[in-house]
Structure 1
């Protein structure tokens, strides 16, 4: 296990609170202490950063807010048992700038939503060194347009503009559209376009068809990803997501490089902010001659912040 994984695991286990013997305590009280410590830490950082934009004589009723999302995952599969995927994302909202500016720190590119990732992503297309620190600006808090400037992909400086919106096609069908263009100091220009169709079959069941296309100067080709998903919520704490994902490149020709089939069980447990996932999957890759590789992903995810 890599050092950063050990550090994160110890971070989740190092906080422990010994309560009074005569007072009733909830199960696993160290979870509450850990959550409070992390939440307060990110909140203090948000207030400290927001003070940079404070104007003398201007009173603000709203306090800066921060939220953090941390996920630890072990995703072994046949032929590759040492598969770990740990992710974090911190967002700070700054009321001193009328909530038009956010600070975003993450170790993944948010073009791919956390929780909708597959395994075996193409490392040559920039899936490593994803640490991003950026200022995100909107002309209005609810605007579909946003702009970023920051550092990412191996400490390259970048600028990015994105448009995101959704449209109701019918009472049960929703289409989400997103397009972005960006420039990295080493990789050059790139773009991303996606369309997502959601169909609500029932109040508890949703079907999703997701399409993504990426282009970057560094590779001079397009990477495409398509997925079909079925999402079913059993109750407020339990859901299951079944999916089929494919991925490929446009060069040297438009070819399929990967199949991925999975069933993900997601459960809210012990606390409202804590989740775990169990996901059996089958992965078939071109560089492995499309021989099936069977795996089981185990993940723990926590949400931290004062709202």
Structure 2
């Protein structure tokens, strides 16, 4: 059977077009939604920056958004899940750098120590309770204006926040940090955070780390923190993690080391838990979508728990 000329042409055109599978179509739609949201965030940031002052074309406003889903499991507490959000809008129109920060504040408090995401840092949920809606809402409902400045002569960086958290807790927060580079491979960093809220009262955290850089992709770090809270109940905890970090191409990262920590009660320091951990982080499917699994082997003397395997998994989308 002979095909007319126009039929042969149509068949030739169709056969030359790329065939998109359902999965590819879904992925392209996801990328489009990601791009649209990212563009919207930057447009909002530039609109606010333009309203505040004369924008600089060489230093445009910007916005970042992190959406996380933390999953953790051990045989004592079972499985639990917690959503976390952190957003930052940078507004360089003012002489002092102004930004808006939204979401879970603990992500900033732990920013320098990538390994304080283990179950021992947070109080476990009640038995057989997988999700605490009230806790997730209170932790993520924070909005603040941040002024970032520094004392250049002393090499000190400062952040001052004023805002509202947990629905009705008006607060002020100050972070002061300084880094000493002793030589090309060894450095020390000290960070002090203080927050006072009308409802949450006093919060104080000290971060202290010593870093030894082996090469451009590998370093050894010892991070110590003290965390004090006076929210109805006065609590103080401490922790230390000694780990080695390897950074690979494609935003991949490997951490392994030992973490210890405990309580501080009436100036008495106790050792509550200790054990090793291994953490891996890499993009999955997309450059902006990350997966971060962790395996650890901790005990808990306070709850009379022996060493047991624990697992943690963070899924994170960056916009």
Contact kept? 1:118, 1:260, Cα under 8 Å: no
Equivalent of 2:315, from 282, 300, 303?
A: 300
SS at match of 2:73: coil
Structure 1 residue 90, shift from structure 2 partner:
0.6
Aligned residue runs from structure 1 range 19-168, under 5 A: 22-23=17-18, 27=24, 28-54=27-53, 58=54, 60-61=56-57, 62-98=59-95, 100-109=97-106, 110-113=108-111, 115-116=114-115, 117-123=117-123, 129-131=138-140, 132-139=142-149, 144-153=157-166, 155-168=168-181
The structure whose residues are more often strand, as a share, is 2
Equivalent of 1:266, from 256, 266, 281?
A: 281
Structure 1: how far apart are the matches of 2:212 and 2:219? 6
Contact kept? 1:100, 1:141, Cα under 8 Å: no
Structure 2: how far apart are the matches of 1:194 and 1:59? 35
SS at match of 1:256: coil
Structure 1: how far apart are the matches of 2:256 and 2:82? 20
- Provide the alpha-carbon RMSD of the alignment: 2.9
Structure 1 residue 250, shift from structure 2 partner:
1.2
1:240 aligned onto 2:265: no
Contact kept? 2:97, 2:147, Cα under 8 Å: yes
Alignment size in residue pairs: 279
User: In terms of mean alpha carbon deviation, does 63-72 or 38-47 score higher?
Assistant: 38-47
Structure 1: how far apart are the matches of 2:286 and 2:317? 9
Aligned to 2:6: none
Aligned to 1:206: 219
Contact kept? 2:299, 2:308, Cα under 8 Å: yes
Structure 1: how far apart are the matches of 2:250 and 2:304? 41
Structure 1: how far apart are the matches of 2:217 and 2:110? 24
Moved over 4 A (4+): 23-27, 140-143
The change in CA–CA distance for 1:211 and 1:153 in structure 2 (over 3 A counts) is farther
TM-score (norm 1): 0.79
Aligned to 1:16: none
Contact kept? 1:136, 1:149, Cα under 8 Å: yes
How far does the alpha carbon of each residue in 1:125-154 deviate from its partner, in whole angstroms, 9 at most, with x for none?
xx8732321111024698602211011256
Largest Rg, 1 or 2: 2
TM-score (norm 2): 0.76
SS at match of 1:138: strand
Structure 1 stretches of 5 or more lacking a match? 1-20
Structure 1 residue 270, shift from structure 2 partner:
3.1
Contact kept? 2:96, 2:149, Cα under 8 Å: no
Structure 1 residue 48, shift from structure 2 partner:
4.0
The change in CA–CA distance for 1:279 and 1:180 in structure 2 (over 3 A counts) is closer
RCO higher in structure (CA 8 A, sep ≥6): 1
Structure 2 stretches of 5 or more lacking a match? 1-15, 125-134
